[in-house]
Structure 1
Amino acid sequence: MSEPFLIGEAMTGGYGRGADILHGCTLSVDRGEIAVIVGPNGAGKSTAMKAVFGMLDLREGAVRLGGEDITALSPQARVAKGMGFVPQTSNVFTSMSVEENLEMGAFLRRDDFRGTMAQVYDLFPVLKDKRRQPAGELSGGQRQQVAVGRALMTQPKLLMLDEPTAGVSPIVMDELFDRIIEVARTGISILMVEQNARQALEIADKGYVLVQGRNAFTDTGKALLADPEVRRSFLGG
């Protein structure tokens, strides 16, 4: 068995000198796969993703990307290795135009990134129409598109999304999920934390249910949706 493209293995840790939030938590994603982390509030979902991105110190466990141990690398170094991260809040530069936000995503690149920008505009046509507009004037759903587009400008191999549909309408949520599926089809791996568990598991190749920083259930999205205990405890029946 070859190792998954990304694996955060047996991760235990918390923020600074505080108590551990994660307890032996394991997450993995294969190439071009969508993996979704769901669970109750306070389950450590966002913390698990931040651990993968290097935003908290692990006391135990390891993170490997493409077979390389990156546990000791800073978030910036992980971006250079091919990780893109979209936080839930404060994820756009509000005073900059849409296009300037996208250009900021290419800050590490030394090549011509106009082709990638064209791909982002193909994925999110509304951004092309509003490319001269300050990102702060956009709707919540459009801002999320800018944030995802900026992460895609780094040409990531793994895209991590923390609550991408928080605060958007059901129609916008469906549209964002459709775009996420399109991104995964290009071969980019997706790791996503999502409150809208049922809808997220419907598009997930793999799902993780976390409870108190531990793996409670791990299976395909379809299998978790069909599991009576998961449905009763986490999906409202």
Structure 2
Amino acid sequence: MSQVQTQAAPATQAKEPYLSATAMRGGYGKADILHGCTLQVDMGQIAVIVGPNGAGKSTAMKAVFGMLPLREGSVKLDGEDIIKLSPQERVYKGMGFVPQVHNIFPTMTVEENLEMGAFIRKDDIKDTIEQVYHLFPAVAEKRKQAAGELSGGQRQQVAVGRALMTRPRLLMLDEPTAGVSPIVMDELFDRIIEIARTGISILMVEQNARQALEIADIGYVLVQGTNRYTDTGEALMADPEVRRTFLGG
């Protein structure tokens, strides 16, 4: 089975996590949303950020991607300090980001969306497009159709596929299952697992906390912009306090 290729890995593996975002403090204007938040992801891991509304989950994701200036803290990718890099520069370093909304070009075809996703590529992208179609066969069948005409779940697949076109080593997903049916949610989670198995690290904000923690190697429960619980997905699911407070019992 073909796999989505990543950028060439460095010759020596860093001992620290592939992504290390530590003690992040920042927000909008003068108001801090993040209060010392720390997120770490190893190569090929699925890391899930959950928590109540207003906990700073999406803000933490934007901070990692450089869309939010930090007053304190550090962000390192493969051991390199990237705190001063723009989002586009972070894409060149191996990050891919799929926002929750406005994540496709609705008037463009599916294939044109994927081609736009490869904006940093100078090589032949045909193989990567076919790998995306293999990952998302429902989208492949509609490659010549305007992306805006697809179902919500199919649009999310296009958005993820477009991010994969840069061959990222870290893929960040902001609530990828928002607004989709339970069946489509399960399919998306299956594809996310498949992507991680190719060696791509996944950092995901998800409102469906219970289902997301079931596939998570590591989970972060944020409350008011700080880490309340950090553990494996399995351990968090088994924690009575986490289940009672955040998972509905």
Q: What is the TM-score with the length of structure 2 in the denominator?
A: 0.94
Q: Which runs of no fewer than 5 residues in structure 2 stay unpaired?
A: 1-13
Cα distance between partner residues in 2 of 1:172 and 1:232: 27
Residue 138 of structure 1, aligned match among 146, 150, 157: 150
Cα distance between partner residues in 2 of 1:173 and 1:218: 24
1:148 is matched with: 160
2:15 is matched with: 2
Q: Identity of counterpart residues, as a percentage?
A: 79
Residue 233, structure 1, aligned to residue 223, structure 2? no
Equivalent residues in 2 for 1:1-237 (5 A)? 2-15=15-28, 17-237=29-249
- Runs ≥4 in structure 1, deviation > 2 angstroms? none
Cα distance between partner residues in 1 of 2:233 and 2:149: 36
Please tell me the root mean square deviation across aligned C-alpha atoms, in Å: 0.8
Task: Report the alpha carbon displacement of residue 84 of structure 1 after superposing the two structures with TM.
Answer: 0.2
Q: Which runs of no fewer than 5 residues in structure 1 stay unpaired?
A: none
Task: Report the alpha carbon displacement of residue 2 of structure 1 after superposing the two structures with TM.
Answer: 2.1
Aligned residues: 236
Task: Report the alpha carbon displacement of residue 96 of structure 1 after superposing the two structures with TM.
Answer: 0.1
Q: What is the TM-score with the length of structure 1 in the denominator?
A: 0.99
3-state DSSP of counterpart to 1:225: helix
Cα distance between partner residues in 2 of 1:197 and 1:86: 18
* 1:13 maps to amino acid: G
3-state DSSP of counterpart to 1:10: strand
Task: Report the alpha carbon displacement of residue 18 of structure 1 after superposing the two structures with TM.
Answer: 2.9
